[in-house]
Structure 1
Amino acid sequence: MSSQSSSPGFASAEAAELGFYAAFERGDIAAMIAVWSEDPDISCIHPMGPVLRGPSAIGDSWRQILAPQHRLRITLSHQVVFSDAHLCVHCVHENIHHGDRFEDLSVIIATNAYRFDGQGWRMILHHASPGARPARAPSVEPVPPDRAVH
């Protein structure tokens, strides 16, 4: 990740989160890097992956993830927010729609943390884990006539 000392950050943690998911959907590495703090203590854990620490390791991981040109649509649900004047933590379900017509769905449970550095809000943690598979409609089998209630 490159130095961001001239960039003021985001006006709110919510704006930083919107920037993060917009960059993720678009595959925009420059916008993704702009969301992250330059502090050496930042961390990122991708689903089933190791702990990545620091701007360089995190930037490299997002370059690999965003390099393929697959289309995604991401919606958030089950949002829980904890915040104070300098730290904000968002726990979310990332509903990632993918496929040619966005017909496939993957659910990732993520914790995102943002810190206010005096100039603006930036991401300091993204921890993502696989969620439960989306529920499928149960298959309906015909009931034999001798077992029918009505």
Structure 2
Amino acid sequence: MSTTAAEIEKLNEAFYTAIESGDLDRMTEIWAEDEDGRVAMCVHPGWSAVTGRAEVLRSWALIMANTTYIQFVLTDVRTTVVGDVAVLACAENILTAADTDDATFAAGRVVATSTFVRTPAGWKLWIYHGSPVLQADDDEDDQADE
């Protein structure tokens, strides 16, 4: 793996750590500033696109404020760097506290693509797009195997 790809993967890990710990200051450091011709964009799974750095950070603040627990295990990580742009695709295997009164958890899977851009301040996240992966019921899996 190239040094640049390793840098991108380290920054991507910092992104998920910021979500898990509810660290909006770190999230703010990670996202690129809007410039002419380059505006931050974010598509949370199941949401419409959020554009503009301020709105993107606001969306993360809302998610962090309303999430009691979340953990990500990333798999299938693929990183491509072309000049001053890098794209990282991965599967997010997510464990989160369920929206119930008892101590239960919910699991899900999202396929995510993050686009990073090299700036004078270093690599920054420019675009994030997460798409939920539909989970089949166990009964459907059993039927498919027959």
TM-score, L = length of structure 2: 0.78
Stretches of structure 2 lacking an aligned partner (at least 5 in a row): 1-5, 98-102
Residues 61-76 of structure 1: pairs in structure 2 closer than 5 A: 61-76=59-74
Secondary structure in 2 matching 1:20: helix
Query: Aligned-residue CA RMSD in angstroms?
Result: 2.2
Contact 1:27–1:66 (8 Å) recurs in 2? yes
Residue number in structure 1 paired with 2:118? 116
Aligned residues: 129
1:52 correspondence with 2:50:
yes
Q: Using the alignment, how far apart are the partners of 1:50 and 1:69 within structure 2? A: 19
Contact 1:47–1:128 (8 Å) recurs in 2? yes
Residue number in structure 2 paired with 1:15? 10
Structure ID, larger Rg: 1
Secondary structure in 2 matching 1:12: helix
Q: Using the alignment, how far apart are the partners of 1:13 and 1:47 within structure 2? A: 22
Shift of 1:63: 0.9
4+ long deviations beyond 3 Å? 134-139
Q: 1:119 to 1:28 in 2, by over 3 A?
A: closer
Letter of the structure 1 residue corresponding to residue 16 of structure 2: Y
Secondary structure in 2 matching 1:39: coil
Residue number in structure 1 paired with 2:100? none
Q: Which has the higher helix share?
A: 2
Q: 1:135 to 1:86 in 2, by over 3 A?
A: farther
Q: Using the alignment, how far apart are the partners of 2:129 and 2:31 within structure 1? A: 13
Stretches of structure 1 lacking an aligned partner (at least 5 in a row): 1-10, 140-150
Q: Using the alignment, how far apart are the partners of 2:33 and 2:78 within structure 1? A: 26
Q: Using the alignment, how far apart are the partners of 1:114 and 1:135 within structure 2? A: 35
Residue number in structure 2 paired with 1:91? 89
Residue number in structure 2 paired with 1:128? 130
